[in-house]
Amino acid sequence: MSGNSFKTVLLEMYEKKQGFDIDIFLNDLKTPIPAHKLVLSLSCEVFRKQFFENSNISSNSLCIKLKNVTKELFEEFIGFIYGKTIKFENKDNAIAFYRTSDGLKCKDALEFASDYLMNQLNVQNCIAIYEVASQSHDNNLIEAAKKIFSENTNTLIASPEFLAAKPKTVEAIFSLEILNIDSELDLVKALEQYVKYHKENTSDIRYKVRGALENIRFLTLTPQEITQTSLLNHHEIISVIGSLPPCSDFSSFPGLFSRNTQKRGLTVNKIEMIRNLHDKFTDTCFKCGTYKHSIWNCKYTLGIPHRGELKKIFEKYQHTFLFDYDLADLKVIHEMFKKTNFLD
């Protein structure tokens, strides 16, 4: 029997309710969701362990606890295992399905939900998707969300979604090397609003956002901007101002605060990378004086993987005018040239 025929049979058995041998009770619901032990076990690691490794093979019922999962959504999840085509009504349902798939260790369902969330990723939902992806260590989703953090920072930190973010997520945003901000003052004001929003319900909010605070590059701000923030106490303000260039006296500088004096505005970073690359990422190889060819076609310089990566990026644009390149592609090129010691 082919794979498609097998799935057709499974779906038919499920829809006709034939031969069920297990009733699943979700959370505290009284109405069971019937299924087949073997089918569930082949799809989900948790079910396999429950039915065949924990001496439950003779049991005909199973109670499971899943937070924020409705009976309707769980039935959709079970239906997916049997081959049913499903569509998510909204982002929240997709995230709940993703969490369920991850919690029950169902690889196919998790990949399906991950692909869906990747395609739906935008400024409005990137924080929620980042947080659920972080719990399951989904690196592809995490990096895609971070890209949106970088390129849409000012929009993001002014949104209701930012105020609802977990402190660790705020820290992750503030720790990125490239941010679309006018200056670090944008981060200061956003964190002040975040603290104010959570102050009544979370008494230790200042402690919880300490990681985010320590990633703000206060040394790129003016003394006046530093004195006006409510995020620092009097001693910290004096210490930070005393550490500003050109004095740079770090003797009393707050221990884990960022000492980085490089501005992080997206435009600033983009111009700096273009300046470093403009005479190197060209149609004519700058490393090989004998041959007139691009560096991604030169067998004497970069290794094959690097040449392939550069060629792939070039073919996306068909020119080397770097101002037209996406920030992500520009960063890949810059990091590659930096690692291979091609930058001064």
Q: Looking at the domain assignment, is residue 249 inside a domain? A: no
Q: Rounded CA gap, 252 and 243, in Å? A: 8
Q: Looking at the domain assignment, is residue 27 inside a domain? A: yes
Q: Looking at the domain assignment, is residue 258 inside a domain? A: no
Q: Is 26 in the same domain as 98?
A: yes
The DSSP 8-state label assigned to residue 301 in this structure reads S
H-helix or E-strand containing 64? strand 61-64
Of the candidates 44, 32, 37, the one whose C-alpha atom is nearest the C-alpha of residue 77 is 44
Chain segment 249-283, per-residue pLDDT in tens: 888 899 899 999 988 877 767 778 888 888 888 87
CATH of the domain at 73: 3.30.710.10
% of the chain with per-residue pLDDT over 70: 95
Instruction: Kindly tell me if the per-residue pLDDT of 183 is higher than 60.
Output: yes
Q: Looking at the domain assignment, is residue 146 inside a domain? A: no
Tokens at 50, concatenated? 């429950």
CATH of the domain at 221: 1.25.40.420
- For 24, residues 6+ apart whose C-beta sits below 8 A from its C-beta are 32, 33, 34, 35, 61, 62, 63, 64, 74, 78
Q: Is 177 in the same domain as 223?
A: yes
Q: Looking at the domain assignment, is residue 87 inside a domain? A: yes
Q: Looking at the domain assignment, is residue 147 inside a domain? A: no
Cβ atoms of residues 197 and 163 within 8 Å: yes
Point out the domain boundary residue: 120, 136, 162: 120
Residue-level pLDDT at 197: 96
The domain of 161 spans 152-243
Q: Rounded CA gap, 65 and 70, in Å? A: 11
pLDDT band for position 162 (50/70/90)?
very high
Amino acid (1-letter code) at residue 32 = P
Chain segment 307-324, per-residue pLDDT in tens: 888 888 888 888 888 888
Q: How many domains does the chain have?
A: 3
Residue-level pLDDT at 294: 83
H-helix or E-strand containing 329? helix 327-339
Point out the domain boundary residue: 228, 243, 258: 243
Q: Looking at the domain assignment, is residue 109 inside a domain? A: yes
Chain segment 198-223, per-residue pLDDT in tens: 998 888 999 999 999 999 999 999 99
Cβ atoms of residues 156 and 189 within 8 Å: no
Instruction: Kindly tell me if the per-residue pLDDT of 224 is higher than 90.
Output: yes
- For 216, residues 6+ apart whose C-beta sits below 8 A from its C-beta are 174, 184, 187, 188, 191, 231, 257, 258
Chain segment 145-158, per-residue pLDDT in tens: 999 999 899 999 99
Q: Rounded CA gap, 21 and 291, in Å? A: 72
